[in-house]
Amino acid sequence: MSDKIIQITEMNKWFGDFQVLKDINLEVEKNKKIVVCGPSGSGKSTLIRCINRLEEHQKGSIIVDGNELTEDTKDIEKIRAEVGMVFQQFNLFPHLSILDNCTLAPIWVKKMPKKDAEELAIQHLEKVQIADQANKYPGQLSGGQQQRCAIARALCMEPKIMLFDEPTSALDPEMIKEVLDAMVNLAKAGMTMIVVTHEMGFAKEVADEVIFMDEGMIVERAETKEFFANPKSDRTKLFLSQIL
């Protein structure tokens, strides 16, 4: 139990009448890197959005770091502060400079003194190699730089888990690499990560396990090597044959 940082049991979710997630069971141990892949519309994004309750699930339970996510979880904000998230569309705050984007949440949510927050932000911006852009506004940066800033912003909250929702899907091929590099470095530093992505190269390089989802169900879950070498289900084989 102690090292299982995320526990999802029998989780179901509907959008209206449409069931997007069916009986999801998933356990993630501390410091594990998990890649979630699958065709679009298979519920990958919804799954990880459920983990920090950007979406509500209707049945089953999700336990994050020992706290169950329920309708009346008063400290949902505390859980969210411990779960960083990076989005496909970056979602930086366009009215704030890069530095302010990174310090906003530490200052206002964690009540960190401004000076400390700025030092921390610069540290993380250096890790993703955009410290020199700190005083620019998001609109002045390229997509890759924006996404790296988004990663730094999430890291500034010093989260225990990082969720990535197709972080490279909205980027030019040239910029994908710089973002993936930042993610690889993060993985090597020992962060617990759940990554929804189509970048199979990234999966092979850093993932401990790969999950394949289709039609709202987890079709296959296996160690990375095992997953790519001999996938068990036919659906996975078909998917891999198309994507590789």
Partner 1 sequence: MNKLNFLQPDKNNLSTYLYTGVFLVALSIFIVFLNSFFNKDLISFLPGTISFFLPLILGFIGLHLIRIDYSGLKFLDKVNKNINTNNFNAFLSLLIVFVIIKSLPPLLSWFILDANIAGDSKDVCTGSGACWTYIKIWFNRFMYGMYPNAEQWRINLSFIALAFLGTIGFFATEKFKKYLTLYYVVIYPVIAFFFIFFFISGGPIFFDFSYGIIAAVISIIIGFFIPSKFKMYYFIIVPITLYILLKYVFFYEELIELGKLEALEWVETGAWGGLSLTFIVSFFCLIFCFPIGLFLSLGRRSDFPIIKYFSIGMIEFWRGVPLITVLFMSSVMFPMFLPEDMFIDKLVRVIIAISLFEAAYVAEVIRGGLQALPRGQYDAAKSLGMGYWKMHILVILPQALKLVIPGIANTFLALVKDTPLIFVVGLLEIVGMLNLAKTNPEWLGFAMEGYVFASVLFFIICYAMSKYSYNLEQKYKTER
Q: Which residues of 1-33 are buried (b: 16+ CB within 10 A; e: fewer)?
A: eeeebbbbeebebeeeeebbbbebebebeeebb
Residues contacting 179, CB < 8 A, separation 6+ = 144, 147, 148, 151, 167, 168, 171
Residue showing tokens 């209206």: 16
- CA distance linking residue 213 with residue 204, whole number of Å: 17
Indicate the residue among 37 and 154 with the shorter CB distance to partner 1.
Answer: 154
The answer to the question of residue 58 lying near partner 1 (CB under 8 A) is no
We find the least distance from the C-beta atom of residue 100 to partner 1, in angstroms, to be 10
The answer to the question of residue 59 lying near partner 1 (CB under 8 A) is no
The piece of 16-24, 94-102, 121-129, 195-203 that touches partner 1 (CB under 8 A) is: 94-102
The packing angle between helices 114-127 and 143-155, to 10°, is 130
Q: Give the residue, chosen from 34, 35, 64, 85, that forms a contact with partner 1 under the rule CB under 8 A.
A: 85
Binding mask 98-117 for partner 1 (x = CB under 8 A): ------xx--xxx-------
**Token pair for 208:** 């401990």
* CA distances, 202 to each of 83, 199, 207, 218 (Å): 21, 5, 7, 20
Report 110-149 residues binding partner 1 (CB under 8 A). 110, 137, 139-140
- Count of residues that interact with partner 1, criterion CB under 8 A: 32
- The enclosing H or E element of 110 equals none
**Token pair for 42:** 């298979």
Nearest to 83 by CA among 109, 116, 122: 109
Indicate the residue among 94 and 190 with the shorter CB distance to partner 1.
Answer: 94
Binding mask 25-54 for partner 1 (x = CB under 8 A): ------------------------x--x-x
Q: Give the residue, chosen from 37, 69, 83, 149, that forms a contact with partner 1 under the rule CB under 8 A.
A: 83
Indicate the residue among 165 and 199 with the shorter CB distance to partner 1.
Answer: 165
Indicate the residue among 95 and 225 with the shorter CB distance to partner 1.
Answer: 95
Residues contacting 20, CB < 8 A, separation 6+ = 13, 14, 43, 46, 216
Q: Give the residue, chosen from 78, 188, 225, 237, that forms a contact with partner 1 under the rule CB under 8 A.
A: 78
We find the least distance from the C-beta atom of residue 96 to partner 1, in angstroms, to be 8
Q: Name the site residues for partner 1 (rule: CB under 8 A).
A: 49, 52, 54, 77-78, 80-85, 87, 89-96, 104-105, 108-110, 137, 139-140, 150, 153-154, 157
